[in-house]
Structure 1
Amino acid sequence: MRKICTLELLSAKRVQSFRHIREEEVSNLVDSLTAASGEPVDLTRMLSTVTSSITSRAAFGKAQELTDAFMVVIENISVLDQVIEDHKSRRRAGRNGDGEKEDLVDVLLNLQEKQNLGEMFLAGIETSTTVMEWVMSAMINDSRVLQKAQQEVRQVYGGDDGKNHFGEAKLDQLKYLDMVIAESLRLHPPLPLLIPRENRDKNVSFGSYEVSVNTNVIVNAWAINRDPRYWTEAERFFPERFVDCPIDYTSTDLQFIPFGAGRRMCPGVSFGMKIVKLTLASLIFHFDWKLPAGQKNINMTGCFRATLRRQYALHLIPITYGRVLP
């Protein structure tokens, strides 16, 4: 499944072929936000919708009917996780041998399919939405960073050019936005604990550790990304730390692995990051952003579902760029 996705569905050429879909759906998002200018919006849901629409059209050629279905699935991931954990607990307790019939979840667990399906799902809608939520939250909480990112994107795209057609052609020029996204990923990786891998061949040594054959290994990406031995002021949101550090999500540099590393890294990185960068650039080009009345900053508490998401939905007020409120 991974090989098919990497070589066929998520190849660089195929991802680029979906450019018009990304541009159209992000333009629809901008239209919706423009209509709501000056009023609080549930940006979490809107980001989920645009990501779902892009993914649905790219994968199936359809948008709205599948987007609605995807939203139901995303909102109920925690329930699905609990069902799976209940089955695992029952299996560990040996109760399946007491005459209980296996259901579909038991069969899937037996076939080890959950991991494969989970990787495919997380590489798409949930992960991209999560990344954008955290980036917007971090920028709203740091006006210096937001203003600097807005200045860059508005300078690159320029007045009427960007307003008439905000496309992907100039995204490569947004170097500071790249740093902002990378810094947010460092502090808030969508998968803080990477998907477990089993050492199947032979005993392997890592420094002073020995991993025996048939042992499952879980990499703590969250801890690596915040390790003070590798990151100065590791807990601080400071995008400029990447000025002299090339940003490459496919690199084998293991001090920064928001999507894993090597052959087993997330196969949907290229597809997802195209959505993330175009959407974020559009949001800060077309709009200024305010917090709802009475709110002084964004609560950065996270919760773990399929990914490490914000605990609370992100509600913000978009102000169309250039509009003066009464």
Structure 2
Amino acid sequence: MQPLTIVSLIVASLLLFACWALSPKTLKNFPPGPPKLPIIGNIHQLKSSTPHRVLRSLAKKYGPIMYLQLGQVSTVVVSTPRLAREILKINDICFDDRPTSTASQIFFYNAQDIGWAPCGEYWRQMKKICRLELLSAKKIRSFSSIREEEVSNIIKVFESKAGTPVNFTEMTVEMVNNVICKATLGYSYKDQATLIELLLDVLKTLSAFNLASYYPRLQFLNVILGKKAKWLKMHKKLDGILEDVLKEHRARRRNNNHQEDLVDVLLRVKETGDMDFKLTDEHVKAVVLDMLAAGTDASSTTLEWAMAELMRNPRIMTRAQAEVRSVVKGDTITETDVQSLHYLKLIVKETLRLHAPTPLLVPRECRHDINVGGYDIPAKTKIIVSAWACGTDPDSWEDAESFIPERFENCPINYMGADFEFIPFGAGRRICPGITFGLSMVEYPLANFLYHFDWMLPNGLQPHELDITEITGISTSLKHHLKIVPIPKVLSKVR
């Protein structure tokens, strides 16, 4: 360890002790919670590969609304649909802000994106643009040729590797990234691999443990330990790529002979000036980065979990394949066909319930003092809603931790934010605006995988032996990549 690092840690420890010693020890009527250690509070209890499971275990002991002291950050965790409704619907205006960090401020142009921007007129207008222009049903349909091309490409790769194990995880990540980059940036973008690598680095940075995030008074540690310089360097590279993207799109727009992608939409809105504020290039780059970052991981993770559950449940796999093969006529699946695949949609729903891409919703921050569930929550308290705990709540779901798509048959519950026992995309004003786009990147590829192939586990592995150990990073995914064997449909009939 470098001498500067050692000195920094000693100074930080002394300051942390001073902060702890001077902090008030008498609290309001806060929710109950686990005992705290001096200085660090409950931080040690979240140092887990699956924090959503740790929090649910603690909630079983201390209650569905629970108080944690994470360093200097007061945090409240809610774990039931009733309390999620209080936070995300009844008191949504009080809880619609995001707690930001140095890293999110740097990467997202001082929170000028949609995900991290504070609620206000700018956020409302940008969300409206996102809903009406960027991610409308019409715009998403216009990207169908991109989805079809990329799914066709991965089908060809699977066919070339017929009878041998493929790394399903890696291949679907690449496919999803290709679609998102092309829909956002256009076909001709030349530095996609570099961009994807930077995006993954940004997402890992945002989800990584950072001591200064729990001690706002110690932000100087990010400078002393070199983290801020590293983040600024990453941002400079990313900004350079996005600048090139804008220049390329402005040149192409002058020719006016190409399909409009998401960058084109933002540039068009910027040029028309139909907003109450001046839209700048930084605003455009921040929102583009939002689109890329939000879609980079969630869809591929959901595809991975859906296929893993199908491999573990042969009965469900057989029924799903029978459905898609009875509906589809010919060798090509259309997106119209997908709308008729009732059972496949139940499988996707059940995957999202049991394996939400973000089992702990992006944190919120309390605007003012408020009472929730009979407990006092002061202003600036960080709020964590456990979508996974709501989705596996035994009072809402029978046999809650089993994969049973049939539970959604004739069931009105959906993921659009009105049913708080099922909120994989969040709820309220901060609900994910990309639900339709994300689902299109799960349902259409999955239908193709089930139609064109039968699937086997490698090396004689039995369904119940498939390792589904979780790990939480950018999202909660399989700890070990899913490796399975594709058997083309024609070949499987011959066998």
| TM-score, normalised via structure 2 length | 0.58
**Aligned equivalents of 2:290 and 2:477: distance in 1?**
16
The one of 142, 153, 175 aligned to 2:324? 153
Asked whether the equivalents of residues 33 and 318 of structure 1 are also in contact (C-alpha less than 8 Å), the reply is yes
Asked whether the equivalents of residues 152 and 174 of structure 1 are also in contact (C-alpha less than 8 Å), the reply is yes
Asked whether the equivalents of residues 77 and 305 of structure 1 are also in contact (C-alpha less than 8 Å), the reply is no
Asked whether the equivalents of residues 199 and 293 of structure 2 are also in contact (C-alpha less than 8 Å), the reply is no
**Aligned equivalents of 1:135 and 1:22: distance in 2?**
18
1:243 aligns with 2:369: no
Matches within 5 A, 1:46-125: 46-62=171-187, 65-69=190-194, 71-73=196-198, 76=201, 80-81=205-206, 85=210, 88=213, 93=218, 95-96=220-221, 103=229, 105=231, 120-125=291-296
1:136 aligns with 2:261: no
SS of residue in 2 equivalent to 1:217: strand
Q: Structure 1 residue 123: deviation in Å?
A: 2.7
**Aligned equivalents of 1:97 and 1:175: distance in 2?**
50
The one of 377, 389, 395 aligned to 1:229? 395
**Aligned equivalents of 2:177 and 2:220: distance in 1?**
39
Q: Structure 1 residue 5: deviation in Å?
A: 2.6
Q: Structure 1 residue 81: deviation in Å?
A: 4.7
Name the count of aligned residue pairs. Answer: 316
SS of residue in 2 equivalent to 1:241: helix
Deviations 1:304-324 (A, max 9, x none): 111011111111100000214
Asked whether the equivalents of residues 212 and 222 of structure 2 are also in contact (C-alpha less than 8 Å), the reply is no
Q: Which residue of 2 aligns with 1:275?
A: 441
**Range moving further from structure 2, 73-82 or 231-240:** 73-82
Matched-pair identity in %: 35
Q: Which residue of 1 aligns with 2:274?
A: none
Q: Structure 1 residue 77: deviation in Å?
A: 6.4
Q: Structure 1 residue 32: deviation in Å?
A: 1.2
Which letter does structure 1 place at the counterpart of 2:298?
T
**Range moving further from structure 2, 236-245 or 133-142:** 236-245
Asked whether the equivalents of residues 53 and 63 of structure 1 are also in contact (C-alpha less than 8 Å), the reply is no
1:12 aligns with 2:137: yes
1:126 aligns with 2:293: no
**Aligned equivalents of 2:306 and 2:318: distance in 1?**
14
Which letter does structure 2 place at the counterpart of 1:270?
T
Distance 1:206 1:94, change over 3 A: closer
Q: Which residue of 2 aligns with 1:173?
A: 340
Which letter does structure 1 place at the counterpart of 2:447?
A
Distance 1:209 1:13, change over 3 A: farther
Q: Structure 1 residue 118: deviation in Å?
A: 8.5
Deviations 1:122-170 (A, max 9, x none): 5302000000000000000000000011111111103xx1x1x222011
Distance 1:71 1:252, change over 3 A: same
Greater RCO (Cα-Cα under 8 Å, separation 6 or more): 1
**Aligned equivalents of 2:223 and 2:485: distance in 1?**
56
Q: Which residue of 1 aligns with 2:429?
A: 263
Distance 1:143 1:96, change over 3 A: closer
SS of residue in 2 equivalent to 1:26: helix
Asked whether the equivalents of residues 252 and 261 of structure 1 are also in contact (C-alpha less than 8 Å), the reply is yes
Q: Structure 1 residue 184: deviation in Å?
A: 1.2
The one of 336, 350, 356 aligned to 1:189? 356
1:39 aligns with 2:198: no
Which letter does structure 2 place at the counterpart of 1:12?
A
5+ residue gaps, structure 2: 1-112, 115-126, 236-285
Which letter does structure 2 place at the counterpart of 1:167?
T
Which letter does structure 2 place at the counterpart of 1:302?
E
Q: Structure 1 residue 84: deviation in Å?
A: 6.4
Distance 1:255 1:99, change over 3 A: closer
Distance 1:97 1:245, change over 3 A: closer
Q: Which residue of 2 aligns with 1:112?
A: none
Q: Structure 1 residue 296: deviation in Å?
A: 2.1
**Aligned equivalents of 2:487 and 2:224: distance in 1?**
61
**Aligned equivalents of 2:202 and 2:313: distance in 1?**
31
Deviations 1:282-303 (A, max 9, x none): 0000000001114223211110
Distance 1:78 1:59, change over 3 A: closer
The one of 460, 483, 488 aligned to 1:315? 483
Which letter does structure 2 place at the counterpart of 1:306?
I
The structure number with the bigger radius of gyration is 2
Distance 1:179 1:100, change over 3 A: closer
| TM-score, normalised via structure 1 length | 0.86
Q: Which residue of 1 aligns with 2:372?
A: 206
Q: Structure 1 residue 73: deviation in Å?
A: 4.4
Q: State the superposition RMSD in angstroms.
A: 3.0
Q: Structure 1 residue 103: deviation in Å?
A: 2.8
Asked whether the equivalents of residues 413 and 422 of structure 2 are also in contact (C-alpha less than 8 Å), the reply is no
Q: Structure 1 residue 6: deviation in Å?
A: 2.6
5+ residue gaps, structure 1: 110-114
SS of residue in 2 equivalent to 1:169: helix
Asked whether the equivalents of residues 168 and 484 of structure 2 are also in contact (C-alpha less than 8 Å), the reply is yes
Which letter does structure 2 place at the counterpart of 1:197?
R
Asked whether the equivalents of residues 417 and 425 of structure 2 are also in contact (C-alpha less than 8 Å), the reply is no
Which letter does structure 2 place at the counterpart of 1:296?
Q
Q: Structure 1 residue 23: deviation in Å?
A: 1.1
Distance 1:277 1:82, change over 3 A: closer
Q: Structure 1 residue 262: deviation in Å?
A: 1.8
SS of residue in 2 equivalent to 1:49: helix
SS of residue in 1 equivalent to 2:459: coil
